Amino acid sequence: MRIQVVGIGTDRGDDAAGLRVAERLAGRLPPGVGVVACRRPGPDLATALDGVDAAVLVVAVRSGAPPGRVQRIAPEQLPEARAWSSHGLGLVEGLALARALGRAPARLAIVGIEGRRADGDARSREVERGVDRACACVLGIVGELRGEHVAPGGG
Amino acid sequence: MAERRTIEVGALARVEGEGALHVTVEDGEVRDLRLRIYEPPRFFEGFLQGRALEELPDLTARICGICPVAYQMSSVHAIEKALGITPDPATRALRRLYNAGDWMESHLLHMMFLAAPDFLGLDDGMAVARLHREPVERALRLRKLGNRILSLLGGRPVNPVGVCIGGFHRAPTREELSSLAEALRAERGEAEVLLEWFATLPVPRRPQDVELVALRHPDEYPMNEGRIASSRGLDIAADAFEDTFEELQVPHSTALHSRIRGGGSYLVGPLARVTLNRERLSPAAGAALERVADRFATPDPAASVFARGVEVIQAMDDALAAIEAVAAAGPVRVPDWTPRVAEGIAVTEAPRGLLAIRVRGDARGDVEHVRIVPPTSQNQAQIEADLRALVPHLLDRPHEEMQRRCESAIRDYDPCISCAVHFLDLEVERVPS
């Protein structure tokens, strides 16, 4: 089974959280598990999901939870894809495109990291800690997908 | 009895930004037609004052998420003119490569996801992907190469930052360039196949009497240098841009309209570039143009999609030529410079057409004044002229079709309202008197 971890975001403030997770996990994943950073989640997300059986998407979110909170988001919780303009292509549109191309992976997990602000160069301290928790969460999901038993507190 | 109809498109879809179209027709004649750009102004020219000159390429890149390179190129060339810097041959070639990547990304996105649905009678790019998987996959692969070029020279594909006065902050290695060249060579034929697919689609025809304006260079397909030429014999130095073209404020748009002084509206972009620079196309791009040559016999904005397809091939050939030129040119040297009170203007070819930037620097090396004339604001008056000619032919059609045809005509220009400010809703009012 080919598993792809995709860290999604821009380089602005807390919106970079997904990218940082991808950087942090490079070299730490089991063989056969890929990790990429995706700064344009529209068409580039569809490209990143090509030939993949299972995917874990990591992205900064704004849900009203405290900054830094890490949560698993079910694909059906995502909002509907919007009409296309190339300035507004996001994760949802990228996934819809992947589906239209028959590339949507059979198994899909989404990990959201609550952000505080999407501007400036620095990340909020809470979100920085969220990145650590998200890394652990992704490793756990990858283990589940590979059919490994993850001992509580282990890994 | 007079009949009055109004067409109102409240928010145009598949364009970059927010805008609307309002048309009033009375007795079969267009009484009022306004491409309303209501996106709020962004005040770039204002807040750039007082910033350091070296910040300008990075800051102006933020004007557009689709064509950031064009803003970097016009601003850095304008600064270099002001400071009397001539970039070395390696930098010049790398900038052509960088531009080529930007054109590829922008054109392919527009062709496949914004324009193709019009020709196929589909709602959006997702529907195109479901029904025409192969061309969409092809466009995505090609686009990824453009993205790779932007990442290589800009440091990242979004809000790139690699450009500096006189050169690049980091020059790519020989290995990076040769591996890129290999990828470009492997996919180059795909761009020709993609254009052939577009040539099988029922792309409408809308020939019209319009002045086409583009850069022209003695030896190359124009990107960052050249004189400004037109299909009606205009031939001026780029420095004379402001003596020849003027901007006007209109009440219904937050973006300025442009016209030729003492003349009328004009068209900039791929259609103008291809038409005025046919003989500068690479052999492959020239051969591809030959296959759709009948669409270029008279100026026809509806043929813009073919011009974009030809330019994707051209951009790949230019990218390959640029990589060879870099290898031959030796190392990139970024010159030192000292601040001085001086002004420079540069006109480059953005994916959507001429982009003029004039910069005046002060004795501390800060921006004293900057003026930005993006391609979409130059095309606005021409888009309105195009629609004024089109609408009378659509009066007997159902409202929905009328609206769709108007929107499709607007999309032929790939307007970037976000750049111009942003873009489109359609209003058509039908009021019987």
* Residue B270: Cβ-neighbour burial (10 angstroms; 0-12, 13-18, 19+): buried
The pLDDT tens digits for A28-60 are 999 989 999 998 788 889 989 999 999 999 999
Cβ neighbours for B265, distance < 8 A, ≥ 6 positions apart: B210, B211, B257, B258, B259, B381, B382, B384, B385
* Predicted complex ipTM: 0.78
Please tell me the predicted confidence (pLDDT) of residue B157: 82
The arithmetic mean of pLDDT across residues B286-299, rounded, is 96
Is residue A152 classed as helix, strand or coil in its secondary structure?
coil
Q: Tell whether B155 is within 8 A of chain A (Cβ).
A: no
Q: What phi-psi label fits residue B14: left (phi over 0), alpha (psi between -120 and 50 degrees) or beta?
A: left
Residue B10 has pLDDT above 50, yes or no: yes
A148 Cβ neighbours under 8 A, 6+ residues apart = none
Between residues B338 and A150, the one the model is more confident about: B338
Phi first, then psi: what are they for B137, rounded to 5°? Answer: -60, -40
DSSP code of residue B114: I
- Whole-angstrom CA distances from B178 to A66, B162, B175, B187, B203 are 47, 19, 5, 14, 38
Confidence of residue B432 (pLDDT cuts 50, 70, 90): very low
Beta strands in B282-392, from DSSP E residues, in sequence order? 342-350, 353-361, 367-373
pLDDT digits over B371-403, tens only?
Answer: 999 998 899 999 999 999 999 999 889 988 888
Q: Which helix (DSSP H) or strand (DSSP E) does residue B428 occupy? A: strand B424-432
In the three-class reduction of DSSP (H, G, I as helix; E, B as strand; rest coil), residue B267 is classed as: strand
Give the range with max mean pLDDT: A84-98, A105-119, B87-101. Answer: B87-101
Q: How far apart are CA B35 and CA B22, in angstroms?
A: 7
Q: Which of residues 66-125 of A touch B (CB under 8 A)?
A: 81, 83-87, 93, 96-97, 100-102
Bigger pLDDT: B303 or B20? B303
B220 contacts B342 by C-beta, under 8 angstroms? no
pLDDT value of position A86: 57
CA distance B231 to B214: 9
Write down how long chain A is: 155
Sign of the alpha-carbon dihedral angle for B299, B146, A3, A93: negative
pLDDT of residue B354: 97
Identify which of B15, B126, B157 has the shortest CB distance to residue A85.
B15
CB of B254 closer than 8 Å to CB of B192: no
What's the CA gap between B8 and B21, in Å, rounded?
6
pLDDT at position B231 is 97
3-state secondary structure of B155: coil
From the list A43, A81, A96, the residue facing B140 with the nearest CB is A43
Tens of pLDDT, residue by residue over B395-415, are 889 988 888 899 899 999 998
Kindly report the average pLDDT of chain B as a whole number: 91
The alpha helices in chain A, defined as continuous H runs, are: 17-25, 43-48, 91-100, 125-145
Q: Tell the residue number behind the tokens 């059609």, with chain if given.
A: B397
Residue B45 in this model has a pLDDT that exceeds 90: no
Give the angle subtended at the CA of A30 by the CAs of A26 and A35, to the nearest 5°: 35
- pLDDT value at A99 more than 50: yes
Check if the beta carbon of residue B277 is closer than 8 Å to that of residue B216: yes
Instruction: Specify the pLDDT at position B425.
Output: 41
- How much of chain B, in percent, has pLDDT values that exceed 90? 73
Q: What is the mean pLDDT of residues A68-84?
A: 83
**Encoded tokens for A77:** 């919780």
User: Looking at the predicted structure, is the pLDDT value of residue B12 above 80?
Assistant: no
- Is residue B308 within 8 Å of B110, Cβ to Cβ? yes
> DSSP letter string over A43-73?
HHHHHHTTT-SEEEEEEEE-SSSPTT-EEEE
Q: Which of A44, A84, A93, A119 to mutate to test the interface with B (most CBs of B within 10 A)?
A: A84
Which one of B110, B133, B159 has the shortest CB-CB distance to A101?
A: B133
Determine what percent of chain B falls in helix, strand and coil, rounding each to the nearest 5.
50, 20, 30
> In chain A, which residue's Cα lies nearest the Cα of B110?
A86
Strands A54-61 and A107-114: parallel
The pLDDT of residue B237? 97
What was the pLDDT predicted at B65?
Answer: 79
Looking at the complex, report in whole angstroms how far the Cα of residue B235 sits from the nearest Cα belonging to chain A: 34
| Cα separation, B99 vs B355, whole angstroms | 13
- Is the model more confident about B183 or about B158? B183
If DSSP codes are grouped into helix, strand and coil, which group holds residue B230?
strand
Task: Tally A–B CB contacts below 8 A.
Answer: 67
> How far is B330 from B91, CA to CA, in rounded Å?
10
Residue B15, chain A, CB below 8 Å: the answer is yes
Is residue A150 very low, low, confident or very high in pLDDT (cuts 50, 70, 90)? low
Average pLDDT estimate for A62-84:
85
Structure confidence by residue, pLDDT tens digits, B307-340: 999 999 999 999 999 999 999 998 888 899 999 9
Distances (CA, A) of B356 to B49, B241, B320: 17, 8, 27
Whole-prediction pTM: 0.90
B137 touches chain A (CB under 8 A): yes
Cβ-based neighbours of A130, under 8 Å, separated by 6 or more: A17, A67, A68, A69, A70, A113, A114
Neighbours of B85 (CB within 10 A): 19
pLDDT score at B419:
58
DSSP states along B3-29? EEEEEEESS-SSSBS-EEEEEEEETTE
Contact B366/B47 with Cβ under 8 angstroms? no
* Cα B98 → chain centroid: 15
Q: Summarize pLDDT for B101-133 with one digit per residue, the tens.
A: 999 999 999 999 989 999 999 988 889 999 999
The confidence score (pLDDT) of residue A83 equals: 56
Tokens 């020989």 belong to residue: B174
With a cut of 70, say whether residue B285 has pLDDT above it. yes
Distance of alpha carbon B221 from the chain centroid: 15
Provide the pLDDT for residue B249.
83
Structure tokens at A46: 């569809």
| Amino acid B424: pLDDT | 35
- C-alpha span between A91 and A25 (Å, rounded): 20
Tell me the H-state helices in B359-413. 375-390, 399-411
More confident residue, B299 or B26: B299
3-state secondary structure at position A35? strand
Angular region, B27: left φ>0, alpha ψ -120 to 50, beta rest: left
pLDDT tens digits, B121-178: 998 888 999 999 999 999 999 999 999 999 999 998 888 999 999 999 999 999 999 9
Closest-CA residue to B412 (of B12, B24, B50, B1): B12
Q: How confident is the model at residue B420 (pLDDT cuts 50, 70, 90)?
A: low
Backbone angles phi, psi at A46, to 5 degrees: -60, -40
Task: Return d(Cα B101, Cα B81) in angstroms, integer.
Answer: 24
Q: What is the pLDDT of residue A85?
A: 59
| Whole-number Å distance between alpha carbons of A94 and A109 | 15
Say if A46 is an interface residue toward chain B (CB within 8 Å): yes
A105 vs chain B: nearest CA distance in angstroms?
Answer: 16
Q: Could you give the angle at the alpha carbon of B256 between the alpha carbons of B254 and B257, nearest 5°?
A: 125
Q: Do B144 and A47 touch (CB under 8 A)?
A: yes
